[in-house]
Amino acid sequence: MKLFLLIKGEFVRLVKYRVLFFSLVVTAIWLIIIALLSVNEARLLSPLLILTDLCMMSILLLAAMTYYEKQEGTLITTLISPVKTSYLVLSKYISQIIIGLLSATLISLCNTIFHGISINYPLMLVYSLLIIICSCSISYILIFYSKDFTSMIVNFAFIMLILFIPTILHMVNVIPDSFKYLLFLSPFHSAEVLINSTMTTGVPIGEILISVGVLTLLSALMIIFGVAKKFKSYAMRG
């Protein structure tokens, strides 16, 4: 019951801070773009759009919410209430998961309706869940080690440059396949492999297993040694 109330509170604040509105607007833009594409263009760009929503948007939306809550003192108020810190963190993950899954589902449905692209929806949801959890964990690590929202955005841009851009270059065949296994050092590449595997055949099972392992391991490490240890001290920090 307490967890449900916390999740409800998260969505109230998502609406209040217009974070949810911004997320829906971005998703609507992706849907319009996909609807206007040809079938081949949709097959090429849809994984990238879903990846952008699940990774970049999850990181930015959670960061924006956290800084808004920090400014208004909501985090401290919630922490001193009779609620476990783990429940508070879990509610934030769940709210982002709901938004991300909704967006991924809508984009996937748009592909199926307008272009007849066959998508493995159960796997899409499972992989999206794993990607969102990893993205939220990355967001918290960035938040904890940034002085303010501006510095967080700078750090975020640096990480995108190092980890995300190579994945995009590989998707458009700029980086040859001979370097693809080095790309698995990036969680964003692992996410791209998983999303792509739900929309096309021929993705090696080994790459899928590596991707699942990378995202699971990174998420576990960041949650155990980062989020779980630093969330409370960050919230109490002035």
CA distances from 6 to 1, 13, 106, 158 (A): 9, 11, 26, 33
Which of 81, 73, 87 is CA-nearest to residue 236? 73
Q: How far is CA 116 from the centre of its chain?
A: 26
Please give the residue range of the domain that contains residue 198: 2-236
One digit per residue, pLDDT tens: the chain, 238 residues? 789 999 999 999 999 999 999 999 999 999 999 999 999 999 989 999 999 999 999 999 999 999 999 888 888 887 777 888 899 999 999 999 999 999 999 999 999 999 999 999 999 999 999 999 999 999 999 999 998 889 999 999 999 989 888 888 887 778 887 788 889 989 999 999 999 999 988 899 999 999 999 999 999 999 999 999 999 889 887 5
CA distances from 141 to 56, 135, 196, 207, 227 (A): 14, 10, 27, 26, 7
pLDDT at 34: 95
pLDDT at 238: 56
pLDDT at 168: 83
Looking at the 3D structure of the chain, how many domains does it have? 1
Q: For residues 23 and 61, is the Cβ–Cβ distance under 8 A?
A: yes
Q: For residues 212 and 130, is the Cβ–Cβ distance under 8 A?
A: yes
Q: For residues 80 and 1, is the Cβ–Cβ distance under 8 A?
A: no
Q: Classify the C-alpha dihedral 163-164-165-169 as positive or negative.
A: positive
